[in-house]
Structure formats: structure tokens, C-alpha cells
Chain A
């Protein structure tokens, strides 16, 4: 009896909080029919925004994956870092989780903005950071930084260093050991981390909004375009772009499930 009640309640919560809103996005973008949707996403600013988002996702995911794996290896394995320093660094990794994205963006404006020393230096060299793509990438890197590290670290801890040590006594050097011994074990953790990073960088809004200045056809991303459309009461167009983003998210969700399952098997 109780069982029934709890399950029903669970379904109600999911329905109201997740399923109905998701359906609403789909129907909303169809409010003006097929043509409205097509028009919403084929506007030049939509295409440009989607392209910007794409660039950011690719660059951020690539950098984050490489640096995340390396840092995770150092934090778990390296002995040239003292135990205390390691613990300190370890807690620093999580900092971006505690920082509001808006504040994350603000930090970058404060350090690299056009009114700062470093900012002017770069600008004189003809390299614009804030209100341009590099700043947006930096902001997204900051926000997504912990994801990869936090996925890879526990896997490395679990498999231990012995297989790597065994490889070294058999004559294998670092690069060979990494690819033949370590990588096959952390592979699924890394893939899961990639999916999370893609999802987060695809959806990053606050930090990018602050850093980009949200200039149409220049520094506007898909999420900041949705924001602008809503502010301009152009809800149908906003829905079109939002639907594209939502579709990607659902796809990523499926990937996440798949990667999670593989991660458990291995």
C-alpha cells in the first residue's frame, strides 16, 4: 500500500518537474508551426551563436580532458608533491563548484578586462581576451575544470599503482605504460568526464554572459541568445534554439547512462 503511494508520488514529481517542462519546450518551439521553428534556428544570429557554442565546446573539452587527466594522475600518483600540499591542491580542485558562474565570469573580467594591466598588454598586442572568444573559453574552462579530474581520480585510486609498477619492472617507460596499462583502465571514466564537460560547456550561461558582453553575431552563444530572445519577448525563436540545446542534452544524457554502465563493468 505504502509502496504504491511512494511510487506514485515519485512519478508525480518527475512528471511535474522534468517531463512536462521538457515536452513544453518541444511543443513551444512548434507554436508557430514548422516554419516558425526553422526560422528561429536559421536566423543568422542563431547559426552564429550555435557555431560559437560549438567552438567553445570543442576547445574546452579538449583542453580539459588533457589537463584533467594529467592533473588527476599527479594528484593521485606523484610523490614529488608533499602529502599536505597534495591535500590542499585536492581541495582547490573543487573550488569552481562553489563559485557562482557569474562570479567566475567577473573574476576573468577583473583580471583580464580592458581596464587591467594584463588586459591592456594583450590588447596592445592585438589580442582581445574579454568580450571575445578567448575570454569565453577561459570562463568555460574555469567552470568545467573539476569535472574531468573528479571522474578520473577515483578510478586511478581504485586501480592502484601496482600494475604501472609491474610495467616498469618489465621495462616499459612512462608513455608506453600510460597507453597500454593505465589508459584501458581509466578509459570509461574519461569518457564519462568528457560527456559531463560537453554538457556543462554547452549549457554554460552565467560566466559566458558576463565575459562575452553578449554581442550579437560576435560573441553570442546559444544560451545567451536564448536569454536575449526571451528578454525581447521573442519566445518562439528562443524555443527553437532551446530545443536544439535540449535535444543535445537528452542525447548527452543517453551517452552518460551508457558510459556509466561501461564504467561499472570495467
Chain B
């Protein structure tokens, strides 16, 4: 054992304090919510979950998050590629801007979308004329999710592209492969683990998002009410057990995703 922590009588107490802090802050609440949701037994849990408004909210969340994630995969792969492989004016600026959604409060992000696409805005007005409704409808929720999850895919594939040995690509060219063929047989497989884990993270953030969405969604039950807003509503109307039940569904889904990401990254690290 490295000598840093050894000896000294107080080190035991110190260690315990840190671990206790960790357990209380992270583990206890999660255990708490699972026990709370089953506190009244199976029937109330089942009732809470099978409430059509509840499962509709969960389904809507998952559906919209999938759409936002797919968009992110396309945009993120393209942007990650462009920012690493091409040199052009403004590249560094754009590269720093990628993290903006992480730095910006999500409520501010929601407000931005509201201002930009709202009924009084230029875009909103235009869309209304041709009969598309954006704000307070599904498109706005997708835009909000897209905004907050924007950096994930880009940041996940950039290191892979940077590490990639250029000679692999060049080897493919010397073997007579076309550019398109090289991209799909050499470059894309290298990026794939990054795309997958980035997409997973984006998806799990998407289904969890609250701040940006609550401002633009309109929150009409069964139509534009997503899961986290539904949970918020249940809390506001003093139904913590119902909120906990839906939370448990959402949490379990998120944990599965997190676990998968760890698995993907673990495999990559093992190679």
C-alpha cells in the first residue's frame, strides 16, 4: 500500500467518513426511491404504472429521445469528423462551442428555444402559416433534447479519430480501396464504439431531461407530457408514491443504458 494513507490513527476515521459520505449521498437515495415505490405493496405500484397517462408519458419520452438520439448520431458523426479532419477558419471556435449545452443552464436552453421558435417569433410564425406547430408540440421537445445532448456523440468520437493511425487509412488506399469503401470498412468501424457509447449517453440524458423540455413542451397529458414532467406533476399534486413508481421505471431504463455503456467502454479498454 502506498504510504500516503497508512499508519496514523485518524486515517481510519477519515476513510470511513469519505465512504460514508459517498454511500449516503449516492446509494441511499436510490435505494430509498425503490423501497418507496413498493412501500404500499405491488398493487398500488402497478396502478401507478398502468395509469394510461403514466405509461403514455414514458412511451412518448422514449420515442422522442430515440428520434433526438438518431439525429444526434448523424449530426455528431459529421461534426466530429469535420472538426478533427478538416482545417478551416473558425474550427477552434466551433470546437469550443460544442460544450455550450453542458455549460448553459438547461432552463436557459429551454427559454432560448421558446424565443426562437415560439408563436411570436419569425420561425414560429412561418411554420404556423404552413400549418406546422412547433412550440408546445413534439418538434419542440425533440429540439430541446437535441440541444442538451448535442455534445455527447461528438465528444465520444473525437478522441477515437484523433488516436486513429492515419497509416491504416493509407494502407486501404494503397490496396486499391475507394474513398467511400475506405470510410465504411476502415474509418467507420473505428468510430463505431464512440458513436454507440455517445448515443447511449445522449439517449439516457434525453429521457432524463427536464429543464429545457418543461418550458417548451406545453405538457398536455397524454400528448406532450414527458416522463420527467409527469413525475414533477405527481410530486406537485402530493402523490410521491406515484411519482416514485414512474421514476423507478425510468431509472431502471437509465441504469441498463449506463451499464451497457460501461460494457462497451470496458471492452474497448480491454482491446
A10–B83 CB distance below 8 A: yes
Q: How far is the CA of A22 from the CA of B19 in the complex (A)?
A: 41
Residues A95 and B75 in contact in the complex (CB < 8 Å), given A100-B209, A103-B247, A249-B103:
no
- Quick check: is B86 within 8 A (CB to CB) of the other chain? yes
- Quick check: is B52 within 8 A (CB to CB) of the other chain? no
B113–A21 CB distance below 8 A: yes
CB < 8 Å neighbour of A199 from B102, B207, B232: B102
B4–A89 CB distance below 8 A: no
Q: Which residues of B contact A246 (CB under 8 A)?
A: 104-105, 108
Q: How far is the CA of A235 from the CA of B254 in the complex (A)?
A: 34
Residues A25 and B108 in contact in the complex (CB < 8 Å), given A20-B116, A67-B21, A97-B258:
yes
Minimum distance in angstroms from B155 CB to a CB of chain A: 11
Minimum distance in angstroms from B211 CB to a CB of chain A: 4
- Quick check: is A56 within 8 A (CB to CB) of the other chain? no
B3–A165 CB distance below 8 A: yes
Q: How far is the CA of A194 from the CA of B68 in the complex (A)?
A: 29
CB < 8 Å neighbour of A227 from B99, B107, B150, B254: B107
Q: How far is the CA of A70 from the CA of B17 in the complex (A)?
A: 10
Instruction: Please give the number of chain B residues whose Cβ is less than 8 angstroms from any Cβ of chain A in the complex.
Output: 82
Residues A145 and B115 in contact in the complex (CB < 8 Å), given A106-B231, A110-B240:
no
Stretch at the interface among B30-38, B126-134, B185-193: B30-38
- Quick check: is B244 within 8 A (CB to CB) of the other chain? yes
Q: How far is the CA of A9 from the CA of B223 in the complex (A)?
A: 33
CB < 8 Å neighbour of B28 from A20, A111, A199: A111
Residues A253 and B111 in contact in the complex (CB < 8 Å), given A98-B251, A168-B3:
no
Minimum distance in angstroms from B251 CB to a CB of chain A: 6
Q: Which residues of A contact B27 (CB under 8 A)?
A: 92, 95
- Quick check: is A59 within 8 A (CB to CB) of the other chain? no
A6–B81 CB distance below 8 A: yes
Nearest residue, chain B, Cβ from A256: B99
- Quick check: is B167 within 8 A (CB to CB) of the other chain? no
Minimum distance in angstroms from A161 CB to a CB of chain B: 5
Minimum distance in angstroms from A3 CB to a CB of chain B: 6
- Quick check: is A127 within 8 A (CB to CB) of the other chain? no
Q: Which residues of B contact A210 (CB under 8 A)?
A: 232, 235
A106–B235 CB distance below 8 A: yes
Q: Is the interface of A mostly helix, strand, loop or mixed?
A: helix
Residues A109 and B235 in contact in the complex (CB < 8 Å), given A14-B97, A101-B208, A164-B4:
yes
Nearest residue, chain A, Cβ from B37: A110
B5–A14 CB distance below 8 A: no
A257–B96 CB distance below 8 A: yes
Q: Which of B13-57 contact A (CB under 8 A)?
A: 15, 18-19, 21-22, 25-30, 32-33, 36
Q: Which residues of B contact A250 (CB under 8 A)?
A: 100, 103
- Quick check: is A46 within 8 A (CB to CB) of the other chain? no
Nearest residue, chain B, Cβ from A178: B4
Instruction: Please give the number of chain A residues whose Cβ is less than 8 angstroms from any Cβ of chain B in the complex.
Output: 91
CB < 8 Å neighbour of A109 from B78, B82, B116, B240: B240
- Quick check: is A108 within 8 A (CB to CB) of the other chain? yes
B3–A18 CB distance below 8 A: no
Question: B: which residues have CB within 8 A of A?
Answer: 1-6, 8, 15, 18-19, 21-22, 25-30, 32-33, 36, 75, 78-79, 81-83, 86, 88, 90, 94, 96-97, 99-116, 146-147, 150, 201, 204-205, 207-211, 214-215, 227-229, 231-232, 235, 240, 243-244, 247, 250-251, 254-255, 257-259, 262
Question: A: which residues have CB within 8 A of B?
Answer: 3, 6-7, 9-11, 13-14, 17-22, 24-25, 28, 67, 70-71, 73-74, 77-80, 89, 91-111, 113, 138, 141-142, 145, 161, 164-165, 168, 173-174, 177-178, 182, 196, 199-200, 202-206, 209-210, 222-224, 226-227, 230, 235, 238-239, 242, 245-246, 249-250, 252-254, 256-257
Which 9 pairs, one residue from A and one from B, show the smallest C-beta to C-beta distance? A203-B105, A100-B208, A107-B29, A168-B3, A206-B210, A21-B112, A205-B211, A98-B254, A249-B103
Further contacts, 4 of them, CB under 8 A, given A71-B22, A98-B257, A203-B108 = A14-B94, A22-B112, A102-B229, A178-B4
Instruction: Pick 21 A–B contacts, CB within 8 A, sort by A.
Output: A21-B115, A22-B112, A74-B19, A77-B2, A79-B2, A80-B1, A95-B27, A98-B254, A99-B254, A100-B231, A102-B231, A103-B251, A104-B29, A164-B2, A168-B2, A168-B3, A199-B102, A203-B104, A230-B110, A242-B112, A257-B96
